[in-house]
Structure 1
Amino acid sequence: MERNRLFWASRRGMLELDLVLQPFLDDIYPTLETADQERYHKLLECEDQDMFGWFLRRETPEDPDLKKIVQIIRDSRSRPG
């Protein structure tokens, strides 16, 4: 997926998700292996409410691919600045 489309797909209906996904897209996504980038594309097809629960650690996705990319995003948020 081209960068501009990824940017707009990463903009969600919830500010809380934008605050997670936009920095991830800018800082981490370019360093991911192709398989993990494809997992991110799959994540963007998910519902906002599901992602919100996953990033707040209230739930974990059942799908192994989604589980992996959610964990990568969670880990990137806990790294020091």
Structure 2
Amino acid sequence: MEINRLRWAARRGMLELDLILAPFVENVYQTLEEHEQKLFQELLECEDQDMFNWFLRKGESEDPDIQKIVRIVQSHTGKQVE
């Protein structure tokens, strides 16, 4: 996915997600391996509330690949969403 489209897709309806996803796209996404980039693109197709819960560690995705990219994003956020 083109980086400008990815930036747009990372803009969500929740400020908390924007604060996680936008910096990840800007600072980390392009350093990921190709398969991890595809996982991130799949993550962006998930529901906002699901992602919010995953990032808050209030649940996990049933898809182990999605959960893997959630962990990668979490490792780059610097702190957990409060």
Q: Are 1:21 and 2:21 an aligned pair?
A: yes
Amino acid of the structure 1 residue aligned with 2:71 = Q
How many residues end up aligned between the 2 structures?
79
Partner in structure 2 of residue 71 of structure 1: 71
Partner in structure 2 of residue 56 of structure 1: 56
Where structure 1 has 5 or more consecutive residues not aligned to the other structure, the ranges are none
Provide the aligned C-alpha RMSD in A.
Answer: 1.0
Q: Percent of pairs identical after alignment? A: 58
TM-score by length of 1: 0.93
Where structure 2 has 5 or more consecutive residues not aligned to the other structure, the ranges are none
Partner in structure 2 of residue 36 of structure 1: 36
Cα separation, 2, equivalents of 1:61 and 1:78:
21
- Give the ranges of 4+ consecutive aligned residues of structure 1 lying more than 2 Å apart after TM superposition: none
TM-score by length of 2: 0.92
